[in-house]
Structure 1
Amino acid sequence: MDHAQLKAFVAVADSQSFSRAADSLHLTQPAVSKRIANLETELGQRLFDRVGHAVHLTPAGQTLWPRARQLLLDMEDAGTALSNLTGRVAGPLRIATSHHIGLRRLPALLSDYTRRYPEVTLEFDFVDSEQAYRDVEQGLRELAIVTLPDQPEASVAAVPVWRERLIPCVQRQHPLARKKTVAIAELGQHRAVLLGGHTFTQQKVDQMFAEHQVTLHDRTSSSYLEAIAMLVTAGQGWALLPDIMVRDELVALNVLPAIAIERSLGVVHHRERTLSNAGRALVQLLSEAASP
């Protein structure tokens, strides 16, 4: 087994697709298929069942998958440790983050980072915080800058950088905008535009409304805070948005009893993965910029 074969195998296993694996590896599909075929010949085992367009791991493939992934991680970690010996802060640094953090929090800090370390090439994957966090937990990513869970996993080092308070808000022409105070139960009588899915933030929101026994009968959702702000600005309902976003056409509501939802944003990395010099420098910069 060589490195290229293992990378192709893990890419196909992760994506359950030869074409998607080829795209992620910047190879042609025939090239990926050839690497898999060579690996299967070397092992004397079929690793994938191909049924129509679907790709499934065989029992042999299921046995190899976690071991191959760990081998690749160990090889990458060894390469990082050796590269760090030079002391140079250089090379590519791939970071996973959310659109909200990338747009609202990172530009000034990354500009400072680039000035300090001009030999580093920053690459970004914009994904949900929860997915990025899981990738770090599984050792698949070096760094992620995300919304932090209340209780990080023991294997994940989390450095809080920013605190955000979620504020109930509406467009200025919304009926609730004319009220000096809004009973929390009244929110259930108007359309809510909230984050979708089982995000760290939405779990807090759902728990808060459950504690106040408020049912949101008319509720729509989006995966992106920027999209939620757009919908609220268009008069589509009320939302809970980070304080940094309540500007211009949006007004905060004085809800009673007061809604107090806070969340931490920060950088995470796996405790057992060796950070590159570039990654370590970014963690240090973010730590220095952390809110008191």
Structure 2
Amino acid sequence: MLDDMRVFATVVEHSSLNRAAERLNVTQPALSRRIARLERELGVDLFRRVGKRLELTPAGQFTYDFALELRRFHGDYLQRLNAFKTAEAPVATIGASLTTLQTTLPELITAMTEKHPNLEIKAVTGKTHEIATFVKERKVDFGLVASSVEDDPSITSTPLFDDTVVLVLPRSHFIVERTQLSMSDLNGLPMILFAPGTWYRNLTDELFRQYGVKPDVRMEIDSFEAIVRLLGASRAGTMLPKSYLRPQMLSDNDLYVVRIRELEEFKRTTSLIYGDLAWLAPSTRYLIEETIALFGRGNRQS
């Protein structure tokens, strides 16, 4: 039953048999047969098809809630079981790219430590390709990157949520009088950008190239917090992930988000990456499942 509920929850969280099959490393027909067998055993339909998507029936939603509870109890059991294996607190080592370190990791750590007070979380930071290497070399249990890693068969890359990029300006800036801009309005605009060589800076540079924009780059800094604090004094703008912004942060620094039509059409994906599940401890596999569930069921809005 535990394994059936784990498989069922994975299908729900991916809304697709194909994507769930890739995640579980099984074929799509085999996964379809397994879900059909579970429905026969339970005597109810768990899904209905809407186009190419799977949606839960009322019975399916009830079963998914049970699967989450079962997952939670199982995880708690594994965490407590670690106390009998070692006198040390259980440890999870997470690799985070520079972007996710500042946007996604704090939320994850807060959620995990609230649920598992004895869990010790360590973080290793680096660029996306470095985090991928750490995952392969098992120097980290899993990684969080602001992209996906699709070109390495030894790494599984699971999308967590989509994000957008927004323009942030001090409220004293003359541009904020306009409610919406286009990318061409950024030509010559004084800006503070993220440090060169990072995935996030490569992304913003690509956006500038795509639309033929040449901003006036005043500073290059590898900290979103430092950028935010310097915008007012520098009378400059910046490009930030929407997931990083909080109303209180904008208010405290007297900042304003300006809508740009082209940026609203752009999406970037934050992903969880991990290696061969056979090498991971059961408690680590559970943390991976918890992380996917935390971000994968609409808890993060882009």
TM range (shorter): 0.5 to 0.7
Counterpart of 2:165? 166
**Partners of 2:98 and 2:198 within 8 A in 1:** no
**1:89-117 C-alpha deviation (Å, 9 max, x unpaired):** 56322222256645554455434434554
Q: Aligned to 1:207, what secondary structure does the other structure show?
A: helix
Superposed displacement of residue 259, structure 1: 5.2
Partner in structure 1 of residue 140 of structure 2 = 141
Q: Distance in 2 between matches of 1:226 and 1:94?
A: 24
Of structures 1 and 2, the larger Rg is shown by 1
Gaps of 5+ in 1: 1-84
Output the CA distance in 1 between the equivalents of 2:135 and 2:157. 11
> Counterpart of 2:273?
268
Aligned to 2:214: 215
Describe the superposition over 1:51-96 as per-residue Cα deviations: whole angstroms up to 9, x where unpaired.
xxxxxxxxxxxxxxxxxxxxxxxxxxxxxxxxxx999356322222
Tell me how far apart the structure 2 counterparts of residues 100 and 234 of structure 1 sit (CA, whole Å). 24
Matches of 2:267 and 2:195 in 1, distance apart?
18
* 1:277 aligned to which of 273, 282, 290: 282
Aligned mates of 2:232, 2:269 — CA distance in 1: 25
Q: Deviations over 1:207-253 (max 9, x none)?
A: 22212112234343111222222222434411111224163222122
1:78-157 superposed matches below 5 A: 88-89=81-82, 91-98=90-97, 101-102=100-101, 104-107=103-106, 109-114=108-113, 116-149=115-148, 151=150, 153-157=152-156
Distance 1:107 1:92 in 2: 17
Write the distance in 2 (CA, Å) between the matches of 1:109 and 1:181: 33
**1:275–1:191 CA distance, 2 compared to 1 (3 A):** same
SS in structure 2 at match of 1:254: strand
In structure 2, relative to structure 1, the CA distance for the partners of 1:220 and 1:114 (3 Å cut) is: closer
Q: Alpha carbons of 1:105 and 1:231: their partners in 2 closer, same or farther (altered >3 Å)?
A: same
SS for the counterpart of 1:261 is coil
TM-score of the pair, normalised by structure 2? 0.58
Per-residue deviation, residues 137-179 of structure 1 (Å, max 9, x unmatched):
4443222223223745322112222322110120100122122
Per the TM alignment, residue 119 of structure 1 is displaced from its structure 2 partner at its CA by 4.7
Q: Name the CA shift for 1:154/1:195 in 2 (closer, same or farther; >3 Å).
A: farther
Q: Give the corresponding residue for 1:180.
A: 179
User: Offset of 1:191 from its aligned partner?
Assistant: 1.4
Q: Distance in 2 between matches of 1:107 and 1:184?
A: 31
Q: Pick closer, same or farther for the CA change 1:86–1:228 going to 2, 3 Å.
A: closer
1:93 match: secondary structure: strand
Question: Which has the larger displacement, 103-112 or 163-172?
Answer: 103-112
- SS of equivalent to 1:241: strand
Q: Write 1 or 2 for the structure with the bigger share of helix.
A: 2
Structure 2: runs of 5+ lacking an equivalent? 1-77, 84-89
- State the number of aligned residues: 208
Letter in 2 for 1:180: T
